[in-house]
């Protein structure tokens, strides 16, 4: 079993492109064969498609053999207006027969969990995250959503509660405001950039809050052979970050280490980071990720990256 690597299921919700049911199942089977036992999804991913596909796979495995997390805050409700055809404006190649409705209230969070359990076809998830409150209304999300999550935990409906965001400032506010078990921070503690290191990671360490680093390839930039065609934060790559990626690649090459291997292992060097999660819809990429995690990386590589000011000195 690989304890420090988790599978992020956004890609099997047709993130950026259509993925067949067979390919989705194949990448999940590859992750399982590699020893991955932590899986994360969300209603947002493909308007429920990711949850349905992941659930169909996990229902064939013993429930106590894996950890499962999903997210709440966005309800998925039928589209009542005129349909545009697809959900590509939100990044997913699925029909737009449903829409997302922001509702961080206790009733909304509970309904979201119940809907997710139905789509997943399981009786429980281990962890429930408040999803992207910084996108829809951080004040309302923290004021309503965090107490709602705590109520579900108190009722024994979930084991852990947390927040899943891209914003370091939002994560810091959430940790200070709520009694959270875990923070999922996307793209903000990676080999490319480390804004979470200044305040968020030390805060979580002091409070005993687990940190899950996700989007550690910065939406594919650190995993691509050609960064000019990759994404950054689900959009175009700024030229300065493409240049920084090339500098990182050059140093890694000097030590015979693949850039994705360094990118996957770097967040785990921080004592506050418990796991990294990566998402893919391709079985060969999943196999490569498992190999990257097993790669032995010489300490001299990290020293060289620090000397060239590409990563900060450890705090």
List the one residue out of 197, 267, 186 whose CA is nearest residue 220. Answer: 186
CA angle 273, 106, 205 (to 5 degrees): 15
Does residue 57 contact residue 119 with C-beta atoms inside 8 Å?
Answer: no
Q: What's the rounded Cα separation, in Å, for the pair 247 and 269? A: 20
Name the residues annotated as catalytic.
Answer: 45
Q: Give the tokens for residue 207.
A: 């409070």
Are 199 and 272 in contact by the 8 Å Cβ rule? The answer is: no
φ, ψ for residue 161 (rounded to 5)?
-130, 155
What is the radius of gyration, based on Cα positions, of the chain?
19
């Amino acid at each position: 079993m690989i304890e420090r690597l988790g599978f992020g299921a956004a890609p099997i919700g047709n993130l950026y492109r259509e993925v067949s049911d067979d390919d989705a199942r194949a990448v999940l089977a590859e992750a399982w064969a590699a020893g991955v036992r932590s899986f994360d999804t969300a209603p947002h991913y493909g308007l429920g498609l990711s949850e349905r596909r992941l659930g169909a796979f996990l229902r064939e495995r013993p429930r106590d053999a894996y950890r499962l997390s999903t997210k709440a805050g966005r309800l998925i409700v039928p589209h009542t207006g005129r349909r545009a055809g697809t959900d590509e404006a939100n990044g997913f190649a699925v029909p737009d027969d449903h829409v997302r409705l922001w509702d961080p209230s206790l009733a909304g969070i509970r309904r979201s969990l119940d809907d997710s359990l139905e789509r997943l076809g399981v009786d429980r998830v281990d962890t429930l995250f408040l999803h992207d409150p910084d996108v829809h209304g951080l004040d309302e999300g923290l004021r309503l959503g965090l107490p709602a999550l705590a109520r579900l935990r108190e009722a024994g409906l979930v084991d852990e509660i947390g927040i899943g965001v891209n914003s370091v400032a939002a994560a810091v506010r959430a940790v200070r405001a709520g009694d959270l078990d875990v923070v999922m921070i996307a793209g903000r503690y990676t080999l490319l950039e480390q804004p979470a290191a200044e305040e968020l990671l030390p805060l979580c360490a002091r409070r005993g809050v687990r940190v899950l680093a996700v989007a550690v390839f910065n939406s594919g930039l650190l995993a691509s052979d050609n960064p000019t065609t990759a994404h950054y934060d689900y959009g175009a790559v700024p030229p300065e970050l493409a240049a920084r990626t090339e500098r990182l690649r050059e140093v890694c090459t000097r030590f015979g280490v693949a850039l994705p291997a360094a990118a996957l292992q770097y967040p785990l060097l921080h004592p506050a980071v418990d796991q990294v999660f990566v998402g893919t819809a391709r079985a060969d990429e999943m196999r490569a990720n498992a190999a990257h995690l097993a790669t032995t990386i010489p300490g001299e590589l990290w020293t060289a990256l620090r000397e060239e000011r590409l990563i900060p000195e450890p705090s």
